[in-house]
Amino acid sequence: MKIPLFKIYWDNEDIEAVSKVIKKGAYWTTGPIVNEFESKISEYIGSKYCVTFNSGTSALHSILLAYGVTVGDEVIVPSFTFIATANAPLFTGAKPIFADIEEKTLGLDPLDVKEKITKKTKAIIPVHYGGSPCRINELKEIAEDHNLILIEDAAESFGAMIDDRKIGTFGDSTMFSFCQNKIITTGDGGCITTNSKDVYEKLKLIRSHGRQETSNYFSSTEFMDYVTLGYNFRISDITAALGVSQINKIDKIIELRRKNANYLNDRLSSIDEIDLLNPPEEYFHVYQMYTIRVAGGARTRDELMRYLSEKGIGTKVYFYPVHLTHFYKTKFGYNRGEVPRTEEISDCVLSLPMFPTMVKEEMDYIAETLNNFFEKHPYE
């Protein structure tokens, strides 16, 4: 591709940070840099605690376990998301219940969430889509009114805000992802932020075999008891070193993304056949993805994808509905019509290239190529 969908932002500081840990010849698995990374995340987000994991999926699985979500419980999730959001309740024996999304932020629609609440509902997991906050204040009010756990899936929205308040401080706990295409990355990885000491302590047990650690397991001679069932969900000190280096330049990364998104917005705003996503003014969008909606639905959108690919421009549909995947259709009998707005929006969304190091020439080429396509495929 001339212009891929994303490029990882890195510099020599990232290389030096990882090399420094490697050259120590010790603490490659767990060490002091993990604690440093967690402290930096907590400080940046504004939470009391942070626990890192080897993926956002592991983090989401663990937080449901920490809150005791189990067989017979229901968890309200969007279908317009990466499949891990819906799978996580299944990992604990609970059932995901799909609620529809709304037009402005492409996050959970508070009105439909209310409709999906039953006596079995234990938690709500809203997704902050593509770098934009969802309507989290309204969802928080619903959760409080019904005594439900609110877990923010902010995998794509590290650094996003409403007014001056960071995403990750609205729910009871929040999951962030550090997979390679995210705002900051450790290759793969994730974390949970929370203000609950009890949840924090449970998460530390869950991520490391249920082991009650009083010091570094690999360098200590003392016996450490195993007090609950746990997993091997840890990140390494090597990974954490990369995370520390990345978070040290988070403001620069977000500034570059927003600058590029604003430029693309200006270039694409005159194309009648596409709609740009414009969240409310008080929402601070970090543009982990740059998503447009294409008039004419899936047929036109898919033709545009092929055309852009032929011209060397990477694109992807984020997201196809989870409930229409083979697994969910065969296991639960879902079909079209379950969450109609999700299905309609999914048929027309397309994510265009977005990364900090994009240059004007690349963005101009994307805009010109889109213009050329719609000159040949006008929508009436």
- Helix (H) or strand (E) holding 96, with range, is strand 95-99
Residue 342 near residue 80, CB atoms below 8 Å: yes
The dihedral over CA atoms of 265, 266, 271, 275, expressed in degrees to the nearest 10, equals 30
pLDDT of 380 above 70 = no
Task: Kindly report the number of other CB atoms within 10 A of residue 7's CB atom.
Answer: 15
Q: How far apart are CA 176 and CA 288, in angstroms?
A: 12
Locus of tokens 């934009």: 132
Domain ranges of the chain: 12-247, 250-376
**Topology at the third CATH level for domain 250-376:** Aspartate Aminotransferase, domain 1 (3.90.1150)
> What tokens does 237 get?
């000190």
Residue type at position 151: I
pLDDT at 27: 85
Q: How far apart are the first and last CA of the chain?
A: 31
pLDDT at 323: 98
pLDDT of 121 above 70 = yes
* DSSP one-letter code for 48: S
Phi, psi of 291 (to 5 degrees): -110, 135
Locus of tokens 């056949």: 273
Residue 215 near residue 7, CB atoms below 8 Å: no
pLDDT one-digit tens code per residue, 250-270: 999 999 999 999 999 999 999
- Helix (H) or strand (E) holding 143, with range, is helix 136-145
CA distances from 34 to 51, 153, 174, 241 (A): 9, 22, 18, 7
Locus of tokens 């990466």: 82
Helix, strand, coil: what percent of the chain each, to 5? 40, 15, 45
pLDDT one-digit tens code per residue, 295-352: 999 999 999 999 999 999 999 999 999 999 999 999 999 999 999 999 999 999 999 9
pLDDT of 72 above 80 = yes
Q: How far apart are CA 116 and CA 186, in angstroms?
A: 36
CATH assignment of 12-247, among 3.40.50.300, 3.20.20.70, 3.40.640.10, 3.30.420.40: 3.40.640.10
pLDDT of 221 above 80 = no
In this structure, of 109-113, 215-219, 309-313, the range with the lowest mean pLDDT score is 215-219
pLDDT at 132: 98
